[in-house]
Structure 1
Amino acid sequence: MSKLSVICGKASEDLGRKLSRKIKGNLVKSDVRIFPDGESKITLKGIISKRKSVVVQSIYPPVDTNLVQALSLISKAKETSSEVIAVIPYMGYARQDREFLPGEIVTMKVLAKLFKGAGASKLVAVDIHSLIGLKHFTIKSKNVSAVPDLAAYFKKLSLKDPLIVSPDQGGKERAKEFAKEMGIEYIALQKKRDRKTGKVQIKTKKADVTGRDLILVDDMISTGGSIVNATKFLKKEKCKRVFVACTHALLMNDAENKIKKSGVTKIVSANTIPGKTSIVDVSNTIAKAIV
């Protein structure tokens, strides 16, 4: 029997399979039945290792369903394995890492207790929205970056005088890392978001992007508002093509079509969330964080 088992939840089947091959783990699949009231009934198929289990489950929409499934898988793994590593490629609730407005609940603090209570001894996330969120965990926690994997994809393309662009100042370090991986320049736009309405405005007045291929870099795309605004602004500045690179492509409310209509040539994302744009595999990066 393998000394290591990889238990993959329904939300991360493909990534779980790839990871099990990379770390030579025994693959344990989940069979999930959703009852009419929304409850999940999970049945595992495979042998769980007594030594160590790796549970792979992203917490994307339906967020609460995938979260409960992740916790259930960890709890089941802990019944047999002495060590359980929770791999949460996309960590839902990571934006709720502090109290922005009075009375807001810091949900990441709740999640930290839940993961520990379920039996996880270590947690690995990919490009978590805020590292502050991991500070709430009392178990070992690690964040890994998909930027090298995404940059490797774009290095293979024939781009004209490429430039990395962050849609806001908050993503400046990510853009800098991406640019360093590709050996090119980067810029960060200035935007303003209304905390109550969520509306985004680009505050940058000018950008020297004429005739250049641009790669708009972000950690996650939810509704795509920031990307659409940035693309429209960059197109007015006479850039050439605009590509979008992100780790987590949630693409809610027809976001993909809205982004394409704004003038984006292609959206490229990691396989932390399965979908049409998820063409960059991060299983190797995750594997390095486990062993």
Structure 2
Amino acid sequence: MYSDLKIVTGSANPDLAKAICDHLGCQLTPTLATTFSDGELRIEIGDNVRGDDVFVVQPTCSPNVNRNLVQLCLMLDALKRASAGRITAVIPYYGYARQDRKVSPRAPISAKTVADFISVSGADRVVTIDLHAGQIQGFFNCPVDNLYAAPVMLEPLRQIANDNIVIVSPDAGGVERARSYAKRLNAPLAIVDKRRDKPNQAQAMHVIGDVEGKSAIIVDDIIDTAGTLCAAADVLLKYGATEIIACATHPVMSGPAIDRINATESLKRVIVTDTIPLGDKKDRCPKIQVVSVAALMAKTIHNIHTGSSVSVLFV
């Protein structure tokens, strides 16, 4: 058995880490995370962690994915060298997950490289939420718990659920995810046929399934530039949907995303989680509703620490 439970965080999403601590009834372990004048990162754990069960909460997200990734690796290394009993990397949003295979000659498999960084730095276990590609779990040589945000996302959706809704996958790759939501909400499923010509550029073509006269709920894992989302909303409107709501676990919201969502009149609401901090983006877009995964992550951390089952949370 390990000694005390310790929660460590960097600068990526400290609010989520504090919320997790509130649910666990503990305090954040003080950590120095600053930058030297030449841009190098400085990390120092401010408390004794020898023999402790330490969880590092650090999404590798924007606005500086690479800095947050290096911060995570340096914190893992610092804890390993401080003789922590077990080190778990809690990565609510796993950056580089969309680069999980070679899509062109002489291209890296970046998701695998990042997994190697994290493993070599000292992670004994990894916890994440809604990996873009589930097979990324196999890139690690340690246990990986890929949680689902569905239990959290379904709460606001059940408030609007009725006999006249349809769950929509914005592309063929998200059908399994959308089907799980449709099953839980006892709703039919539709798919938007999407053609992508270039990265971050998508054109929705037509809808497979019946959406006419229904409230359409688009389910996705990531909203990046919102091109796919807004194109899907527009095509659903053309096919007769009366109301369009979107939900996605990870609000990357890069580039023109906020402007696109605001300009898409057919899109009435966008429900996201706090795996990535939105900052002032939420104020700039009144359509966004944020639900927290803090309680889900706190339960996971508690179960791992106490040796209880984590699979009970995969509902």
Q: TM-score, normalised by structure 1?
A: 0.91
Give the unaligned 5+ runs of structure 2. Answer: 283-287, 304-315
CA contact (8 A) 1:59 1:92 kept: yes
Matched, 1:124 2:127: yes
1:155-178, Cα deviation, whole Å (9 max, x unpaired): 123767222111011101111111
How much does 1:38 deviate? 3.5
What is the 5 A alignment of 1:1-291?
A: 3-35=4-36, 37-46=38-47, 48=49, 50-61=51-62, 62-78=64-80, 79-157=82-160, 161-194=164-197, 196=198, 198-204=200-206, 207-263=209-265, 264-275=267-278, 276=282, 277=288, 279-290=290-301, 291=303
Measured after TM superposition, the shift of residue 13 of structure 1 is: 1.0
Give the partner amino acid of 1:5. K
CA distance in 1, matches of 2:216, 2:50: 46
1:118-147 alpha-carbon deviations (Å, 9 max, x no partner): 111000110011112221111111211101
The answer to whether the 8 A contact 1:8-1:30 is kept is yes
Q: 1:160 to 1:240 in 2, by over 3 A?
A: farther
Gaps of 5+ in 1: none
Corresponding residue for residue 307 of structure 2? none
Shift of 1:31: 4.2
**SS at structure 1 position matched to 2:167:** strand
Q: TM-score, structure 2 length as denominator?
A: 0.84
Letter in 2 for 1:170: G
Larger CA deviation: 31-40 vs 100-109 = 31-40
Query: Contact 1:9–1:29 (CA<8 Å) still a contact in 2?
Result: no
CA contact (8 A) 1:28 1:46 kept: yes
1:203 is paired with a residue of what secondary structure?
strand
Tell me if the contact between 1:97 and 1:133 (Cα under 8 Å) persists in the aligned partners. Answer: yes
Distance 1:11 1:205, change over 3 A: closer
CA RMSD of aligned residues (A): 2.2
% identical equivalent positions? 30
Separation (CA, whole Å) in 1 of partners of 2:93 and 2:216? 25
Q: Distance in 1 between matches of 2:155 and 2:107?
A: 39
Q: Distance in 1 between matches of 2:196 and 2:106?
A: 20
Equivalent residue, structure 1, for 2:309 = none
- Asked if 1 retains the 8 angstrom alpha-carbon contact of 2:192 and 2:208, the reply is no
CA distance in 1, matches of 2:147, 2:289: 17
In the alignment, the residues of structure 2 paired with residue 158 and residue 229 of structure 1 have an alpha-carbon distance, to the nearest angstrom, of 23
**Counterpart contact for 1:59–1:88, Cα < 8 Å:** yes
Instruction: Give the distance between the partners of 1:83 and 1:47, measured in 2 at CA.
Output: 14
Moved over 6 A (4+): none
Structure 1 residue identity aligned to 2:61:
Y
* Helix, strand or coil at the partner of 1:100: coil
**Inter-partner Cα distance in structure 1 for 2:199 and 2:252:** 20
Which residue identity is paired with 2:245?
F
Rounded to whole Å, the distance in 1 between the matches of 2:45 and 2:174 is 39
Query: Is the 2:207–2:235 contact (alpha carbons within 8 Å) kept by the matching residues of 1?
Result: no
Count of matched residue positions in the alignment of Structure 1 and Structure 2: 289
Q: Is the 8 A contact 2:178 2:189 kept in 1?
A: yes
